[in-house]
Amino acid sequence: MSTTMGINGFGRIGRLVCRAALANPDVAVKAINDPFMDLKYMVYQLKYDSVHKTFPGTIATKEDGGKEFLVVNGAEIQVFHEKDPAAIPWGDSGAAYICESTGVFTQKEKAELHLK
């Protein structure tokens, strides 16, 4: 059984965490939240990296019933655009662990908002 995770923030750090998780067969990325990046730009940012080069797998998008997904190597990753971490439905997405990579919610009280 793989470890499931979500990523809050899809900037440089969030994308590196995503790439590392996708390369590990024991980790499944279930959700990504970034309130400032649309789905198409997420694809572009993940696919092309000036340091780590082109992503070696497949990346597509899917929209279903008002929900957005990145489809990476055939696996669906739900995408959210919430500014408030308490509003992100991590549990509904199946994520057991959350990587906070925005640099905003680094204190315990703020990071705990992901658990609400």
pLDDT tens-digit map of 91-100:
899 999 999 9
pLDDT tens-digit map of 11-68:
999 999 999 999 999 999 999 999 999 999 999 999 998 888 999 999 999 999 999 9
Per-position DSSP letters for 17-79, written without gaps between them: HHHHHHT-TTEEEEEEE-TT--HHHHHHHHH--TTT-S-SS-EEEEEETTEEEEEETTEEEEE
Q: Is the pLDDT of residue 111 over 70?
A: no
pLDDT at 39: 96
How many domains in the chain? 1
pLDDT at 86: 85
Residue pointed to by tokens 């971490």? 85
Across the range 77-99, mean pLDDT stands at 93
Helix or strand holding residue 109 (H, E): helix 108-111
pLDDT at 50: 84
Q: Is the pLDDT of residue 114 over 60?
A: no
Closest of 22, 50, 39 to residue 4, by C-alpha:
22
Q: Which domain holds residue 84?
A: 3-115
CA 99 to each of CA 20, 54, 95: distance values in angstroms, whole numbers, following the listed order? 12, 23, 10
Q: Is the pLDDT of residue 105 over 70?
A: no
Greatest pairwise CA separation for the chain in angstroms? 38
Q: Are 1 and 95 contacting, i.e. CB atoms less than 8 angstroms apart?
A: no
The domain that holds 66 is classified in CATH as 3.40.50.720
Q: Is the pLDDT of residue 102 over 90?
A: no
